Amino acid sequence: MKNLFKPLLIFLGLIFVAIGTIGIFVPGLPTTIFMILAAYCFIRSSEKLYNWVITNKIFGYRVRHFIETKTIPLSGKIHSITAMWIAVTLSLIFLETSLWIKIFIAFLALIGTIVILSYPTAKD
């Protein structure tokens, strides 16, 4: 079982890196959270990949900051919540689906907002 755990974490970490990389180019899709998830996978499976994530020029500082301090800068909170609610609002307006699906999407966005706000704000 232990022999499968490391490759599984590396695989999941690479999936999170791929999604996070897509998030660099797709508005509304977050990058940092997926890179944080990748870092958590890699810290237990691959020191080389973990170091690559936390030293990356584009997102490494934010990932390292969150892992070390467990805080989110105020600007990060504002940007992430704003982007999330813009994407959700557009989805609710233009998505042609049942009311229950729309309620579920709004509920997930509310949970995401609560999670973001539950982390302490970083002191600058």
How far is it, in rounded angstroms, from Cα 31 to Cα 23? 5
Enumerate long-range contacts of 2-7, CB under 8 Å, 24 or more apart.
Answer: 5/45, 6/44, 6/45, 6/46, 7/45
User: Above 80 in pLDDT, residue 82?
Assistant: yes
Residue with tokens 């690559």: 52
At 21-47, the pLDDT tens digits run 998 888 777 888 899 999 999 999 999
Mean of pLDDT values over 70-83: 90
